[in-house]
Amino acid sequence: MTDFTMEIGADGVALITWDLPGKSMNVLTMAGAAELEAAVDAALADGAVKGIVITSGKETMAGGMDLNVLADMKTEGAQGVFDGIMSLHGLLRKIERAGMDPKTNKGGKPIAAAVPGTAMGIGLELPLACHRFFVADNPKAKLGLPEIQVGIFPGAGGTTRLVRKLGVMMAAPFLLQAKMSDPQGAVKAGIADEVVADPVAAARAWVLSNPEIVKPWDAKGYKMPGGAPYHPAGFQTFVGANAMINGQTWGAYPAPKALLSAVYEGAMVPFDTALRIEARWFTSVIMNPSSSAMIRSLFLNKEALEKGANRPEAPDQRVKKMGVMGAGMMGAGIALVSAQAGIEVVLIDQKQEAADKGKAYAEAYFDKGIKRGKSTEAKKAEVLGRINATTDYNALADADLIIEAVFEDVGVKAEVTKNVEAVIPATCIYASNTSTLPITGLAKASTRPDQFIGIHFFSPVEKMALVEIIKGKKTGDRAVAKALDYVRQIRKTPIVVNDARFFFANRCIIPYLNEGARMVSEGVTPVLVDNAARMLGMPVGPLQLIDETSIDLAVKIAKATKEAMGADYPADAEGVDGLMFWLYDQGRLGRKSNAGFYSYDDKGKRLGIWDGLTEKYTSNSDRPEVDEVQDRLMFAQVLEAVRALEEGVLEDIREGDVGAILGWGFAPWSGGPFSWLDIIGAAEAVKRCDRLTKAHGVRFTAPKLLREMADKGETFYGRFGAGAKAA
Ligand code: NAD
């Protein structure tokens, strides 16, 4: 055995220890499951064994299932998945029944879980199948079922057991929202049984204490806490849960719906039948292409990018001390997340008050956290102690990274570059957080353009997970490595792209916003536009998003783009510009002025589409189908992503997919624009492009690459291979 070992003590307790060789955290493989089953079989059959304790040899219990297991099961089709899942159910059910007589519930050996730390996915489902669940008093440990976040749901009995244990209402946040608990919280919620200093010792004593081991759902007269679906209270719960799920997901995600079906149907039948139902719904979710796409982008590829999949060879570039130029909205956020990561930060603005205000942002952030019990005064003092708010450039003398976040103005930025380069060490890397100005142009102000790079954060910095790293024409490998090592330090997800107008994320989001506005300008009901987007799984409709990011910014970008593009500025932008400039002239700047596409009350609560907008624009009685609106919104984004790939702005489709989901919330269920195109197929995509081009204009013309792939029957992930490099 390699993953699981068993040791039978003189006291008659069989200690089964899970300790995957060469890994810092356990994951369950099929071979591991077989080893665990063999150990349990042997212990149950051994007359000298009085009880069993299952624990981990690591500081944590387990991170979950090895995702290759699901991929392997899938190669055998739906039946393969179902059989694989049923065999896991068989193992966990064997532990739960522990050799008891099925009729009398007599006999059997107590089995306790001794969980030393974090237990996620199958790492939690295994203890849930044991008769008692001890967890170490480790406040850093996280217990939970994160499956829903990658498009699946807990399928190894976690769903059925948690609902039977806690009731539908109490289990819902753990199943549907992947709520995590620390050990105390898990006991309070009823997931674990006891927090103890030494879980193995406690479990050992418990199994020897001749305890009652029949699970409530295996005993006569079991009633589900809170009521099953046919109970009046249970019925209400399901009505509410359905409404909540559809309200949150707009029906775009398959997994929460399948989960609720498994819970509802499972709640009306005996436990073993409920497990079969869970396995059937789990199989349907696994066979849906959305789940593999979500797992690939949000788990595997996200992690690969975070670990430096596209990092050039260079020595360790971790940042010790950095300068942040400009203590405005972005600079303040960048200083906060950097100081939190242990980096010394010099936060510079033109006036001391402005620099102090930037630092005060971090202070307010911690005060809020302390109020909510999520931070402490000591932590606040420690982090604030690392931020030196000043106007003195000499404080940058020993910095190894600069991030500039001053006004979006070439002249101002050039001045800052010159002044900073006069004091920083020759080896220091200099980055700009610009959102629109090409890096190659900004680098002209630098005497060392190979050390000049774009590090583009999204707002609000402390919440947004993506950081876009932009290589200018002359940017060198060490600058890229530095940016990647820094992003890793602050625990965000990087993508690396080449320099072009709006880089990658903004380049794709702008056509989405424009298409939404364009439809309104054509007379399509605004509500239809935003709702169609939500039904696609976009977190925010385009009109609402324009309000959030502000209409004056949209007008500013449109004007600057027009100036930069001159005669190439697309003629079909007229409708959009007309609408946006009109809103701007009306003083409707979006949420910040409490007036935009939407109306807001005095407190800033969004009320509904502004009447004035519908009065002026909604004249089109020939209302388009939802699919038509959705196709326009979707293709506006994905075609831009394909063009970015074709033009070499994007070098790796993994970055395109992960960046789209984390950067602007591109329909996460799809796995990103390239995954979505793979799901519908290049041929279908081209067909829809041709139709959209005919109906709405040349902006929907299928890129050459897509047409070629359609002809050859290729997919993006097939064509660009496992490494997913486009070049
Ligand atoms: P902001 O106006 O809130 O802050 C800019 C700060 O820079 C101000 O505090 C200003 O006093 C300071 N500043 C100006 N000139 C300076 C100088 N010579 N020396 C030192 N400080 C100086 O702007 P912001 O929204 O934080 O944006 C800053 C940069 O980040 C811009 O390049 C912007 O395009 C980019 N960006 C903004 C967002 C966003 O959502 N706001 C997102 C990504 C990137």
Q: What is the mean pLDDT of each run of 10 residues along the chain (727 residues)?
A: 92 97 94 97 97 98 89 89 96 97 94 98 98 96 95 96 94 95 97 98 97 96 87 83 88 93 94 98 95 91 95 97 97 98 98 98 97 94 98 98 96 98 98 95 98 97 97 98 98 97 95 96 95 96 96 91 88 90 96 96 95 87 91 98 97 97 96 97 98 97 98 96 56
Residue 48 CB neighbours (<10 A):
10
Ligand 1 pocket: which of 324, 325, 329 to mutate (most atoms within 8 A of CB): 329
| CA separation for the pair 594, 587 (Å, rounded) | 10
| Closest residue by Cα to residue 654 from 436, 493, 508 | 493
Active-site annotation holds for 696:
no
Q: Per-residue b/e over 450-483, b at no fewer than 16 CB within 10 Å?
A: ebbbbbbbbeebbebebbbbbbbebbbebbbbbb
pLDDT of residue 649: 96
Residue nearest (by alpha carbon) to ligand 1 atom 40? 459
Report the separation in Å between the CA atom of 427 and the middle of ligand 1, taken as the mean of its atom positions: 25
Greatest Cα pair distance, the chain, in angstroms, is 88
Which atom from ligand 1 is nearest to the alpha carbon of 412? Answer: 18
DSSP annotation of 296:
I
Residue nearest (by alpha carbon) to ligand 1 atom 17? 350
Active-site annotation holds for 506:
yes
**Cβ(214)–Cβ(57) under 8 Å?**
no
Q: What is the CATH number assigned to the segment(s) 321-499? A: 3.40.50.720
Give residues (CB < 6 A) around ligand 1. 325-331, 348-350, 354, 405-408, 412, 416, 433-435, 457, 459
The pLDDT tens digits for 353-399 are: 999 999 999 999 999 999 999 899 999 999 999 999 999 999 999 99
pLDDT of residue 727: 47
Give the residue carrying structure tokens 């497990």: 275
* CATH top class, domain 4-287: alpha beta
Residue 546 CB neighbours (<10 A):
26
**Cβ(229)–Cβ(267) under 8 Å?**
yes
Which atom from ligand 1 is nearest to the alpha carbon of 408? Answer: 32
Active-site annotation holds for 435:
yes
| Active-site annotation holder among 338, 506, 521, 670 | 506
Report the separation in Å between the CA atom of 359 and the middle of ligand 1, taken as the mean of its atom positions: 14
Collect all residues with Cβ–Cβ distance below 8 Å to 232 and sequence separation of at least 6.
Answer: none
Residue 489 CB neighbours (<10 A):
18
Distances (CA, A) of 129 to 59, 99, 295, 492: 21, 14, 26, 35
| Closest residue by Cα to residue 517 from 546, 494, 557 | 546
Q: What is the CATH number assigned to the segment(s) 504-727? A: 1.10.1040.50
| Active-site annotation holder among 435, 498, 514, 670 | 435
Dihedral of the alpha carbons of 474, 477, 482, 484, in degrees to the nearest 10: 100
Domain map of the chain by residue range?
4-287, 321-499, 504-727
Active-site annotation holds for 625:
no
| Closest residue by Cα to residue 495 from 716, 318, 665, 651 | 651
| Active-site annotation holder among 344, 468, 515, 651 | 468
Report the separation in Å between the CA atom of 389 and the middle of ligand 1, taken as the mean of its atom positions: 15
Which atom from ligand 1 is nearest to the alpha carbon of 459? Answer: 40
pTM: 0.90
